[in-house]
Structure 1
């Protein structure tokens, strides 16, 4: 079973159209161990600091409190909700490494 993946995604899913999105997928055996937070933080830092991307967004489903906690830890702010999806974002000017 793979640990998971934490890619930067341009324009996918639809809720992040026009932005670079961050997402993660972890194998259930690895939930609750901090891997998602650590990997998402590294990806966010890479996008904002190393690549100079001005804004990064993320989408969770309504009720996904674990992912929402990760986004809060990253300093991302809730920006919108539509069709059961919640969008969060952070701008380069707001990011503190």
Structure 2
């Protein structure tokens, strides 16, 4: 799994289209091996991003949970603490 693709389900507020497209772009980059496609592959690359984003939106819209939505700010703080421990960052 690409580390740059973030979990988008069950957050308050819900994932935006920009977040879904960004995750889709990262996914297509990982699959294709291209950070930036050549002109010859640009149309196929961009079409793949659109299709993955559509599938991701469909998935997010169809998932259900009984859990309370996660707060983005709390999750950011938890990630900051995990990274500080992981990389021995002293504050």
TM-score (norm. length: structure 2): 0.28
Q: Which has the higher contact order (CA 8 A, sep 6+)?
A: 2
Larger Rg: 2
Higher strand share: 1
Q: State TM-score, norm by structure 1.
A: 0.27
